[in-house]
Amino acid sequence: MKIFNLLLLWCSVLFTNVLADNESIANELIYFYYVYKMEFLSGATKTMAVDCEGSAHGGMCYFDEFVEHLIEDRWLNVYDPLPGDHTITPGDAQIPRLERNLPSSARYKLSSLLSTLNGETAFPIVLQKVLHAANEAFEAAEDNDVTLATSDINAAVDNARAAKEARNRAIFDLQQDALSRRLDAAIVDYVQSTASGFKWPQTFQAIDDAVDDGELDKATAKDYKSQLRTFSKSYEHDIISSVTSEMTHLDVVRSFATSITRYTRVMEDREPGSTGLDASSSSSECSDEFSSDSTSSDESSSSSGGSSSS
């Protein structure tokens, strides 16, 4: 299995504690659990929830035990799991009890989540450490001839993606405002987006289609793409000038995107074609990624490559 060296964007603002986002909290916890489970079963050196005394096979914690070990007292006092939450395969069925009576400022206990934090408290750094634990689990599983369940990796991807999309909703209005202020309306008309963020590959395809339909000439299309690429790499500065919490959301979103890319590539190594991701391509999870500056009808398109930034 290939091991990819993926870099996370680091948060510029530190907190005294990790404040969970109530929109994404349930998916974040399920994501953490699957990485914990893979680390535990792989034989890797344990770094996640190392003091969680579980009743599953080998002493691993069930999901409800993991949650109770991780969350702070004010949240723990209202967490009332059902028998079905005593599972090693948590999913959507566990979300209602996690969100029931959730405090407005729910928090994780960092010392209980990770043993590798050295005073760091910014959530993107926490995500980096969790991704490192996953990388170590993948390597240990290979070394120890352990097969980690495909369903567990898929569950990690699904919940990281759901958490990313929930986090992104907190900043998307600011992203749209930056787009409107910095680019002409004619360019904005081609931008594809959803509540989970900008869809840059689809945006470039829309511009290509406009060239094919005769709505844009090739030079204009190339200029539009150049402006969009510049915007994608710099619009976060508009958010920096806003309140601190929204900049933190942006960093968290991009950190989740990097994690999703990693797990997706692991799945592609295992089962080529299963994710729809070409082995040589970058993941479209990256928020500022493009396939090419040129249009599909540009005779030079075969020689002009784009760059990606994770």
Average pLDDT score over residue span 110-116: 89
Taking residues 225-247, report their average pLDDT: 66
Average confidence (pLDDT) over 12-20: 32
- Greatest mean pLDDT range, 37-41, 151-155, 260-264, 292-296: 37-41
Q: What is the dihedral of CA 92, 276, 195, 67, to 10 degrees?
A: 30
Taking only the tens place, the pLDDT of each residue in 80-102 is: 999 999 999 999 999 999 999 88
Contact between 60 and 73 (Cβ < 8 Å): no
Task: Please state the rounded mean pLDDT for residues 259-276.
Answer: 65
Which pLDDT band holds residue 78 (cuts at 50, 70, 90)?
Answer: very high
Distance from C-alpha of 299 to C-alpha of 294, rounded to nearest angstrom? 9
Q: What value does the mean pLDDT of the chain take? A: 76
- Nearest CA among 290, 202, 306, 197 for reference residue 252: 197
Q: Would you state the pLDDT for residue 208?
A: 95
In angstroms, the CA 11 to CA 191 distance is 27
Lowest mean pLDDT among 38-42, 63-67, 87-91, 168-172: 168-172
At 267, the pLDDT band (50, 70, 90 cuts) reads low
**Residue 159: closest CA among 89, 231, 67, 77:** 89
pTM of the model: 0.63
Averaged over 125-141, what is the pLDDT? Answer: 90
CA dihedral 66, 171, 198, 2 (to 10 degrees): -30
pLDDT at 281: 38
